[in-house]
Copies of this chain bind each other. A is one copy, B any other.
Amino acid sequence: MHGKNADKASVIVIGGGLVGSLCACLMAQRGYRVTLYEKREDIRRTRANQGRSINLALSHRGRKALRLIGIEANILKNAIPMSARFLHNEFGSSTIMPYDPTSKQCIYSVGRNALNCALLTEAESRFNVDVKFNQKLVGVDFGKGAVTVQCTVTNTTLTVSADFIMGADGAFSTLRLFLQKCPLFDFSQYFIDHGYLELSVPAERGDGLVNNHLHIWPRGEFMMIALPNQDHSWTVTLFMPFKQFAAINSREKLLRFFRSRFPDALPLIGARELEEVYFGNAPASLVSIKCGRFHIGDKFLIIGDAAHAMVPFFGQGMNAGFEDCTLLDELLNHTKGNLAETARLFSEMRLADAHAICDLAMYNYKEMRDLVTKRSFKLRKHLDQYLSKLMPHIWIPLYISVSFTHMKYRECLKNKQWQDKVLFVLLLSTAGLMMLMCLAFAITFNH
């Protein structure tokens, strides 16, 4: 099924993160000569985690792309299944909310670093991708289909052309900055008021949290989550308004805050470790990025976070990026390797889905912090699950459609919107019925 010119055409991938290295594998598997330029050094030779979130939730969409290059099983071997949310309520109680009460499907906690290393090694050793590290993108020639990269060690620059150039260089993509200067390239970046800080529960205290769950401490205006690591440690992320981070500016305030709001988590994290991380690091920002298109001309395409960075509250950033790779592969089949047509179709077909998942992630930003603690939300959730059991093929809850199906994101969003309407009417009629019954009771009683 390879394109007719596939064995001759050359592809450049900018960015060797998760999406870039997977995409390089897929393109090389199709017979393209792929060169990957990565700004950072080879992460397989360093211990630094580059300050990025250390573990991620892998679900159906991401798994499908990994399956395409034959490494899904290998990755899942080192992943930790999470079957439910484990909610740590404010006053010591806890609630377990399975992700998929009917079919018991799981999401998987995977280490970003280990996955990235595995993908880079696959790219180099199995797919013969030419991976070049310490190479920063500094120039783009849209007319010629060329990019200029600069070595961060020697400062020498090199201009290289290719038949197709893909930007998978993340939320703050340099390639996209060049695209943004092109006429008719709509673009928006929006930062939310919350920042995040990564803490951890060390392996020796890892048993303090029930395994195979994604732990959440929802607290309204702020929240904390924890995902399990392979070595029994947990990566804990505190999401909080920047203002609140700034207000908690002394050891006393920090400990008082944790003692009153996260009393069960504090001993697991450790007071000394907490202070060290909290005062040693600035909270990082969270951005939502939307583009009006993903390609420019016949040769340039952006994918992954470069094309649609989202807030992390649906655990779909990596999965959406990997799904971009799947779609690209399908389109190359469909167009028989016509790269220009593929780029155009990718923009056309992916745009609404990218916007939908960005919106859904933003919606979950509110839901995870706030709604999970509200009675009305819990009632809605129970009804949702009940209807899903009753009509599993008709009533697919939002989280399930996003995480455990390959339904287009735009359909998931539409689904949610009509379900919201149905649930609203149901709840309203129930309330109306109850009022009628009360009225009937009152009248009966009066007589």
Give 1 or 0 for each of A174-204: 1 = CB within 8 Å of chain B CB.
0001001101111111110000000000000
User: Can you identify 21 A-B contacts, CB atoms within 8 angstroms?
Assistant: A172-B181, A177-B177, A177-B180, A177-B181, A180-B189, A183-B284, A183-B285, A184-B191, A184-B242, A185-B189, A185-B191, A186-B188, A186-B189, A186-B190, A186-B191, A187-B189, A188-B188, A188-B189, A188-B190, A190-B292, A191-B292
Task: List residues of A (292-346) whose CB comes within 8 Å of B's CBs.
Answer: 292
The complex places the Cα of A242 from the Cα of B292 at a distance, in Å, of: 16
The complex places the Cα of A190 from the Cα of B284 at a distance, in Å, of: 27
Contact A183 B189 (CB under 8 A): no
Q: A177-B181, A187-B188, A188-B190 are in contact. List 7 more A-B contacts (CB 8 A).
A: A180-B189, A183-B284, A184-B285, A186-B191, A187-B187, A187-B189, A188-B188
The complex places the Cα of A248 from the Cα of B260 at a distance, in Å, of: 70
Nearest-neighbour CB distance to chain B for A344, whole angstroms, equals 16
The complex places the Cα of A187 from the Cα of B285 at a distance, in Å, of: 15
Q: Give the chain B neighbours of A181 by CB distance below 8 A.
A: 172, 177
The complex places the Cα of A188 from the Cα of B292 at a distance, in Å, of: 11
The complex places the Cα of A280 from the Cα of B347 at a distance, in Å, of: 30
The complex places the Cα of A242 from the Cα of B183 at a distance, in Å, of: 12
Nearest-neighbour CB distance to chain B for A294, whole angstroms, equals 15
Q: Give the chain B neighbours of A191 by CB distance below 8 A.
A: 183-186, 292
Nearest-neighbour CB distance to chain B for A241, whole angstroms, equals 12
The complex places the Cα of A324 from the Cα of B102 at a distance, in Å, of: 59
Nearest-neighbour CB distance to chain B for A314, whole angstroms, equals 21
Nearest-neighbour CB distance to chain B for A196, whole angstroms, equals 12
Q: Give the chain B neighbours of A242 by CB distance below 8 A.
A: 184
The complex places the Cα of A410 from the Cα of B186 at a distance, in Å, of: 25
The complex places the Cα of A285 from the Cα of B292 at a distance, in Å, of: 15
The complex places the Cα of A292 from the Cα of B185 at a distance, in Å, of: 19
Closest to A193 in B: B184
Nearest-neighbour CB distance to chain B for A103, whole angstroms, equals 40
Task: List residues of A (241-268) whose CB comes within 8 Å of B's CBs.
Answer: 242
The complex places the Cα of A190 from the Cα of B180 at a distance, in Å, of: 10
Nearest-neighbour CB distance to chain B for A78, whole angstroms, equals 32
The complex places the Cα of A98 from the Cα of B242 at a distance, in Å, of: 51
Closest to A283 in B: B183
Closest to A190 in B: B186
The complex places the Cα of A177 from the Cα of B189 at a distance, in Å, of: 12
Q: Give the chain B neighbours of A190 by CB distance below 8 A.
A: 186, 188, 292
Q: Give the chain B neighbours of A183 by CB distance below 8 A.
A: 191, 284-285, 287
Task: List residues of A (190-223) whose CB comes within 8 Å of B's CBs.
Answer: 190-191
The complex places the Cα of A79 from the Cα of B276 at a distance, in Å, of: 66
The complex places the Cα of A184 from the Cα of B284 at a distance, in Å, of: 10
The complex places the Cα of A183 from the Cα of B183 at a distance, in Å, of: 25
The complex places the Cα of A292 from the Cα of B188 at a distance, in Å, of: 11
Q: Give the chain B neighbours of A186 by CB distance below 8 A.
A: 188-191
Closest to A282 in B: B183
Nearest-neighbour CB distance to chain B for A355, whole angstroms, equals 13
Closest to A172 in B: B181
